[in-house]
Structure 1
Amino acid sequence: MGPGVVVTGLTLGALAVVSLLAFQANGAQDRAGGAKPAATTAAAGTPTTAAPSASATPTVPPPPVTSGTGPRVVYSVSSHYVWLVDPKKTPQVAAAFQVLPGTVEPTPGSYAVYSRTPTGVGTDGRQIEHVVRFAQQNGVVFGFSAAVDGTTPATGPKTPTADPKAKTGGIRSGRAEGQLLWDFAPKDTKVVVVA
């Protein structure tokens, strides 16, 4: 078998794999009920976002138009997504990812990060990290965090609490996303909650 046959075989195999991955990616959007913001995580656990191309729909859509302007963390109560937005950067959306809300949602509006804690214990008894608090309403503290045990919105309980009657405002992300948010949102960073 000559080198030309080997190269041709490898090229055809690579094209088949790329075509299959493109087909699966296109079908995943349809199975999920339409376009939703997403963050991707590489095999090593490093979060990444795909840059938009001229011929493809961006992987990370812009934040809701009602989220205002300037650098900000945007949290959507209805879709349970977070966007980290910095208009001075390209792309402006540094990351977008799904989160798991507590039992109570914050009221839509504009807030600011007022407290940060590197580690702690969540209301569900799990060790948490990268706690970024932005609001208090009716005795409930609202903030973002990640479970140290790796529990993510996809693998965790439906509400992050051991007591189903407890009112909790913890908004849980995966660890990689929690690190991104921690790095992005120092004290006084604007947090916009949209419906």
Structure 2
Amino acid sequence: MAGLTATALATVGFLAWQAAAHVPADLAHPADAARTSGISATKAPRDSGRPAALPSGSGKGERVVYSVDDDRVWLVGAAGTVLRTFTVAPGALDPSPGAYAVTSRANRVTGTDGTPVEHVVRFATAQGLAIGFSAAVDGSAPAAGADVRTGAIRASRADGNALWDFATLGRRVVVIR
């Protein structure tokens, strides 16, 4: 039994090393990617007359832009035009500023706070928890409180549907302040 356990641990360790060795450079260290890609790691400039306008310094091309300071998401098309923008309710953990990619999606699951959610779009991790966008089936925000750690970034169901349609696997997600 000990031999099987040791073999299993060695296999998992090797697979983890192999996966880490093949992470694209711009996803391996989000803060470094922010510095080298022109994405602002500090508070991106805002248009005070248009608070929902896409901040400059949020990258180029098709992408999801998420401001952790403004609790707002922008879905940006190939020409740099905003296709949709909306506010969100973040969980207790924020992703670091930088460029990420959508790594997994789930149509319906139970969130880390016990809430049934749909259209989950994951793109980062923090403190061992997945960070991603979702919409609560009952329309609720992530549970508040120090005893509930969640990486949920909750949108309304309508906005969650739009995000689900736009943010397919591999889609770039840019996190700004």
Q: Would you say same fold, with TM above 0.5?
A: yes
Following the alignment from structure 2 to structure 1, what is the Cα–Cα distance between the partners of residues 143 and 112? 5
Counterpart in the other structure of 1:53 = none
Following the alignment from structure 1 to structure 2, what is the Cα–Cα distance between the partners of residues 76 and 139? 21
The one-character-per-residue Cα deviations of 1:39-64 (angstroms, maximum 9, x if unpaired) are xxxxxxxxxxxxxxxxxxxxxx2x21
Does the CA-based 8 Å contact 2:97-2:175 persist in structure 1? Answer: yes
Deviation at 1:122, TM superposition (A): 1.4
Counterpart in the other structure of 2:4 = none
- Count of aligned pairs: 130
Following the alignment from structure 1 to structure 2, what is the Cα–Cα distance between the partners of residues 67 and 35? 16
Q: Residue 66 of structure 1: SS of its match in structure 2? A: coil
Following the alignment from structure 1 to structure 2, what is the Cα–Cα distance between the partners of residues 150 and 136? 24
Q: Residue 118 of structure 1: SS of its match in structure 2? A: strand
Does the CA-based 8 Å contact 1:123-1:161 persist in structure 2? Answer: no
Say whether residues 1:64 and 2:79 are aligned partners.
no
- State which of 106, 110, 113 in structure 2 corresponds to 1:124: 113
Following the alignment from structure 2 to structure 1, what is the Cα–Cα distance between the partners of residues 161 and 121? 11
Say whether residues 1:113 and 2:95 are aligned partners.
no
- State which of 133, 138, 148 in structure 1 corresponds to 2:137: 148
Rg comparison, structure with higher value? 1
Say whether residues 1:181 and 2:170 are aligned partners.
no
Q: Residue 125 of structure 1: SS of its match in structure 2? A: coil
**Same amino acid, percent of matched pairs:** 50
- Matched residue type, 1:175: R
Counterpart in the other structure of 1:171 = 153
Deviation at 1:88, TM superposition (A): 3.3
- Matched residue type, 1:118: N
Counterpart in the other structure of 1:36 = 51
Counterpart in the other structure of 1:97 = 86
Following the alignment from structure 1 to structure 2, what is the Cα–Cα distance between the partners of residues 77 and 68? 16
Does the CA-based 8 Å contact 1:118-1:131 persist in structure 2? Answer: yes
- Matched residue type, 1:36: P
Poorly superposed stretches of 4+, deviation over 2 Å:
33-36, 161-167
Say whether residues 1:77 and 2:59 are aligned partners.
no
Deviation at 1:108, TM superposition (A): 0.3
Following the alignment from structure 2 to structure 1, what is the Cα–Cα distance between the partners of residues 64 and 157? 17
Does the CA-based 8 Å contact 2:62-2:76 persist in structure 1? Answer: yes
State TM-score, norm by structure 2. Answer: 0.68
User: Where does the alignment leave 5 or more consecutive residues of structure 1 unmatched?
Assistant: 1-32, 38-60
Deviation at 1:136, TM superposition (A): 1.2
- Matched residue type, 1:131: V
State TM-score, norm by structure 1. Answer: 0.62
Does the CA-based 8 Å contact 1:123-1:162 persist in structure 2? Answer: no
- Matched residue type, 1:181: L
Following the alignment from structure 1 to structure 2, what is the Cα–Cα distance between the partners of residues 124 and 137? 16
The one-character-per-residue Cα deviations of 1:96-150 (angstroms, maximum 9, x if unpaired) are 0000000011100000000000001112322100000001132121100001112
User: Where does the alignment leave 5 or more consecutive residues of structure 2 unmatched?
Assistant: 1-47
